[in-house]
Amino acid sequence: MISNLIFDFDGIIIDTESTEFISWREIFHEHGCELKQEVWVDCIGRPHGYFDPFAHLEDLTRQVVDRMAINSKRRDRVKALNNAMPILPGVENLIAEAKERNFGIGVVSSSTRSWVHGHLDRLGLLPDFDAIICKEDTLRHKPDPDPYLAVLDQLKSRPNQAVVFEDSPPGIHSAKAAGILCVLIPSPMTRHMAFDMADLHLESLADISLEFLLDRFSGKSPFTFTA
């Protein structure tokens, strides 16, 4: 019986993936070059450091850039964009339904603890989560199963008692490698990527209720694979 809901953060709770891309795309345009979306989306769901946009910018411009000045300007731009970002549709209703049933509620993110906790606090969602796993909490990250195994441990849940909401292939692979049912809700940045591993594909969390989810997955065993 499902009794735990686990959310990815970026792209599932708020669309910070688009704001990061917008800020970097503007920087690249200022330097006379283009940050292609297909390059950016490859790093979605992966930990910070997987892709170095500064190095990519320097490769394209063939010159050294002022990283400190760029980062300061970009951080201000991202902060302004993110502060205007609402909670994505359906998230609050699903959390409320889960709390009514005394479900465990978790977050698993490849972003830093300060990033995830800061945004959840700003949005008024931080008290709703019983377990939050961020980049610092595991040695290995998505698509490795360790982050989802860690949140299962904190929630005191078995894999077949949980459902994950993800928007990226690395996140889906991580959840499936941990043996958990996974619902795909693609973000504007990830909707053209391959998602053959997901158990259910939705356009928005607003499309479902918790009751629908429980009925859909009643008695279903998640497909698992070896990462």
* Annotated active-site residue in 8, 146, 167, 199: 8
Pairing relationship of beta strands 162-166 and 131-133 according to DSSP bridges: unpaired
Provide the 10 A C-beta neighbour count for residue 142.
Answer: 28
For residue 167, the SS3 value is coil
Q: Which amino acid, one-letter code, is at 97? A: E
| Euclidean distance between CA atoms 150 and 178, whole angstroms | 10
State the number of CA atoms in the 13 A half-sphere of 46 facing the CB: 11
What DSSP element (H or E) covers 121?
helix 113-123
* Annotated active-site residue in 10, 15, 167, 199: 10
Provide the 10 A C-beta neighbour count for residue 203.
Answer: 11
Phi, psi dihedrals of residue 163, rounded to the nearest 5°: -130, 135
For residues 137 and 113, the answer to whether their CB atoms sit within 8 Å is yes
Joined tokens for residue 115? 């990033």
For residues 116 and 172, the answer to whether their CB atoms sit within 8 Å is no
Asked about 8 being catalytic, the answer comes back as yes
167, 49, 188: which is closest to 108 by C-alpha?
A: 167
Joined tokens for residue 104? 């465990």
Catalytic residues: 8, 10
